[in-house]
Amino acid sequence: MQHLESYLQGRWQRGQGDATPIHDANTGAVLADACSRGLDLGAALSHARDVGGPALRALTFAERGAILMTLSRAIRDIRDELLDLEADNMGSTRGDAKFDVDGASGTLAFYAQLGSQLGDRRTLVDGEEVRLSRSARWVGQHVLVPRRGAAIHINAFNFPAWNMAEKLAAALLAGVPVLTKPATATAVAAERVVRAFVDTGALPDGALSLLCGSVGDLLDHVGPQDAIVFTGSGDTGRKVKGHPAVLRHNVPVNVEADSLNAAVVGPDIGPGDATWDMAVTEIVRELGQKAGQKCTAIRRILVPAEREDDLRAALLDRFTVMQVGDPRVHETTVGALSTPQQKTDVEAGVAAMAAAGLELAWQFEGDVPSSGSYVAPRLFRSAAGADAPYVHEHEVFGPVATLLPYSGDADEAAGIVARGGGSLVSSVFSDDADWAGGLLLELAAWNGRLYWGSAKVADGATGHGAVMPGTVHGGPGKAGGGEELGGERGLRFYLQRCAIQGDAGLLRRLLG
């Protein structure tokens, strides 16, 4: 059995006392454990701030970008090993594990290229000079400089490589050291990635720390120059935001939380249309990929009432090729849930949906392994149309979605999506530019990202659930209210904006 270690103050360490078991998602057997008891997390943060911070700030954006490219290559070098680890620890099919691992290396490479573009600078200017008086020489200029603290990253269980890498890339390029905390239940791949990073020798001392096991008293040690990025449940996110030390020091917290994402099928498309086929493909993929354990997965499917039977038939036809089982078998399309607790939670959520009056429109009828954390994928429908309060308030984090018939009116669709309280992403499938355009602009207030599926992009779009590093990832309200990625925008969470007032010539000389 593997004993995961933390990487703190430049060395690998293991806590003392009882460790938390980490399970094989396919069999339920314990394959590793992790413990953080007794580790000096205050000293770890101080080391990151006092050693890692100055070392990163001494580098230019281009030099930091070069480090990120080395880290991207380090992931690619152990790609097959990571795919195997995720199959065991998380029940991920090879395709699902690639989605995580390749997303991690790709995001690091994207930010490496951004660093190259930003070049031999260490700070950024924000906007144009502002003339402040009658004198043309007296101006103000907004600048962005790295915070002098550490970035604490608390990551989700479902993407141990990508979720860690996308946070890490933006912070390190901004010049801020990172202490990353993976979810214990799926930390096997995360620990292996960090070991590969450390082995490159590319990271300055203190630039990256890893905490495996409980978060312990970590947040007790945060200070006014630190920043926190959290991905997980809304309840835990609120606890992080409300921690006394976080409140006392006004530490910025970025949260990505629960998200009741939607897909809206427009009234202008139907069977045989390229856009219709695109909608069916995305819905099927989002139900089964990662066994539905994606923060961007489609949970609510809005379909014009007169097209509901057509859409249901198209989905069921695609579902016939679905296979649930051992993720290491090539024919498997849906692997296990990542943890025993996730299986318990999904089954409880499915029971609650039935109790709330939702009808079971389809359930996987093949063999579902009784061992491990497997569940049968399901599609529900609401006989009451969009008036289904449970699906607008609760996310079942597994291979579960619900059909919601609506009239085809754009304003009605916008109101239904908004009932989710804020989402990471929603999709609109329509070739009617006027209908879809009005709906998209209305939905923009309730979503961090919108995906417009139409005939002209049916063969080239990246997919509803694909988070691309060049655009922001996050969402308002229930989705956490945060933003990540978005190219240079992703750096800004780790940078302090300051207005410097002074002589125009001196400022230009200072800031290049």
- List, by residue number, the catalytic residues: 256, 295
Q: What are the φ/ψ torsions at residue 452 (nearest 5 degrees)?
A: -100, 105
Output the CA torsion 243→256→14→373 (10° steps): 120
**121 C-beta neighbours (distance < 10 Å), count:** 12
By C-alpha distance, which of 140, 139, 182 is closest to 157?
182
**Pairwise CA distance, residues 107 & 293, whole Å:** 20
Is residue 158 classed as helix, strand or coil in its secondary structure?
coil
Phi and psi at residue 453, in whole multiples of 5°?
-90, 125
DSSP output for 412-476: HHHHHHHTTS-EEEEEEE-S-HHHHHHHHHHHGGGEEEEEEE-GGGTTT---TT---TTSEEEES
Q: Tell me the C-alpha distance between 481 and 269, whole Å.
A: 33
Q: What's the one-letter identity of residue 192? A: R
Taking every pair of C-alpha atoms in the chain, what is the biggest distance, in angstroms? 79
Question: Would you call 216 helix, strand, or coil by DSSP?
Answer: coil
Among the listed residues 180, 179, 157, 349, the one whose alpha carbon sits nearest the alpha carbon of residue 236: 157
